[in-house]
Amino acid sequence: MQPTKTIWFDGKFVPWDDAKIHVLTHALHYGYSIFEGIRCNDTADGPAIFRLREHVDRLFDGAKVYRMNLPYTKEQLVSACMDLVKENGLQACYVRPIVFSSFGEMGVNPLKNKVIGAVACWEWGAYLGEEGMEKGIRCGVSSWARIDSRILPPQAKCSANYANSILAKTDALAAGYDEAILLTLDGHVAEGSGENIFRVRNGVVYTPTMQSGILGGVTRASVIQIARDNGIEVHERDFTKDELYTADELFFSGTAANITPIREVDGRMIGDGKYPVTKKIQKIYLDAIHGRIDKYKPWLSYVR
C-alpha cells in the first residue's frame, strides 16, 4: 500500500504515519467497528466519489443496529471524505471510513469507551485483478455458511462480519481459487467474501434477495438500476448452488471489485466463457462511475 499525505482521524487531518491507536483499543479485541468502502474515480471534471451519501447512510444504519453512538453527523463524514481526497491530491482512490470503540475499558461491553472515527484513502487497483475483470475469476463454494441475521446482521458492515469472510477467502485461496462464494445456512447462494453475486440465465439477471442475508451493496443497487434502464430483466430471487453451475454467466459486484465475471465454480466452467450481459453491464457501470453518462451523474460527488 502506497501511503498518502494525510488521514482524517477523529475530526482532524493528521499525517499518514501519525494515525495510530493503542493495542488495547477495544475494537481490536472485540470487532466493534463499522466501516465503509467507497471509490473515488477520475472523470473529465476531476475526481468524483461514487454514491457517497448511500455509503454514509449505510454506516449510520450499522451504527444504529450496534447501539454505537457516533460523535459525528452524516454531513461531517461526507465532508471528511470529500476534503480527504482533495487534501491528498489523488485523481482516483479507495476511501475507507471506519468508526470504532477506542481505548478505555476492556470487556465485551463497548459502550463505556469513546467512539472514534477515521477516514483514510489510498490508490487501490482491481480487487480481483485486471485480468479477472477481463477474463473472469475462478471460485469455490465455501464450506463456511454466510453469517445469518440472527447471528451477526450481514447488512451492518461490522468488522466482526469479516471473520466469516476471512475464513471463506483464505480457504478458497488455499484450494487454488480466486474467491469464495458463501451459501446461507439454508443452502441458498448469499454472496462472495466481499462482493454481491449475480446470475444470468437466458438473458435474465437474478441476484439473491436482501432478506437472504447479504450486505445491501451500493454496487448491487446500481447494477439493478443500470440493467433495468437498459432493457435487461432483473429479479431479486434466491437460488441454489446447482443454479450457480448451470448459469450462462455469473458475476460479482462491489466497490472494490467493480463488476468481475466468474468463469469457473468448483471446477465447472460457467456458460461458454463469453459474458455478453456481464460485459454490457460492466461497461455501463464503468462509464457511469467515470462520469461518462449524464443520466448517472447524480451518483457522483465531484471533489473539486
DSSP string, 120-134: EEE----TT-HHHHH
Cβ 88 vs Cβ 121: under 8 Å: yes
- Shortest approach of ligand PPE to residue 60 CB, angstroms? 14
**Residues pairing with 14 in the sheet:** 7
In angstroms, give the least distance from the CB of 112 to ligand PPE. Answer: 28
Q: 3-state class of 49 per DSSP?
A: strand
Nearest-CB residue for ligand PPE: 37
Residue span 66-105 as binding mask against ligand PPE, x where in contact by CB under 6 A, dash where not: ----------------------------------------
Q: Which is nearer to ligand PPE, 220 or 263 (CB)?
A: 220
Among 142, 219, 278, 301, which residue sits at the site for ligand PPE (rule: CB under 6 A)? 219
Q: Is 33 in the site for ligand PPE (CB under 6 A)?
A: no
| Contact by Cβ (8 Å): 4, 95 | no
Among 249, 186, 247, 189, residue whose Cα is nearest residue 223: 249
- Mark residue 295 as left, alpha or beta (left: phi above 0; alpha: psi -120 to 50; beta: remaining): alpha
Nearer to ligand PPE by Cβ, of 191 and 249: the residue is: 191
**Which whole-number Å values give the CA distances from 141 to 31, 103, 255, 264, 265, in the listed order?**
26, 38, 22, 11, 7
Does the protein bind ligand PPE through residue 220 (CB under 6 A)? yes
Stretch of residues binding ligand PPE (CB under 6 A), selected from 20-28, 76-84, 171-179, 191-199: 191-199
Q: Is 47 in the site for ligand PPE (CB under 6 A)?
A: no
* DSSP element (H, E) containing 98: strand 93-101
Q: Is 74 an annotated catalytic residue?
A: no
Contact residue for ligand PPE among 119, 218, 262, 277 (CB under 6 A): 218
Q: Does residue 224 belong to the site contacting ligand PPE (CB under 6 A)?
A: no
Residue ranges in 233-272 that form contacts with ligand PPE under rule CB under 6 A = 253-257
**Region from 80-88, 98-106, 112-120, 213-221 binding ligand PPE, contact rule CB under 6 A:** 213-221
Measured from the CB atom, the residue of 76 and 159 that comes closer to ligand PPE is 159
Q: Please give the size of the binding site for ligand PPE, defined by CB under 6 A.
A: 16
227 is a site residue for ligand PPE (CB under 6 A): no
Q: Which residues contact 134 (CB under 8 A, 6 or more apart)?
A: none
Q: Which is nearer to ligand PPE, 35 or 72 (CB)?
A: 35
Taking the complex as a whole, how short is the minimal distance between the CB of residue 193 and ligand PPE, in angstroms? 6
Choose, from 74, 157, 283, 297, the residue flagged as catalytic.
157
What φ, ψ does residue 210 adopt, rounded to 5°? -60, -35
Torsion of CA 233, 239, 240, 243, to 10 degrees: -10
From residue 177, alpha-carbon distances to 31, 241, 254 in Å are: 27, 17, 18
Name, in order, each residue with C-beta under 8 angstroms of 161's C-beta and a sequence gap of 6 or more. 147, 152, 154, 215
3-state SS assignment for residue 90: coil
Active-site residue set: 157
- Kindly list the residues in this chain that would bind ligand PPE in the complex (CB under 6 A): 37, 165, 191, 194-196, 215, 217-220, 253-257
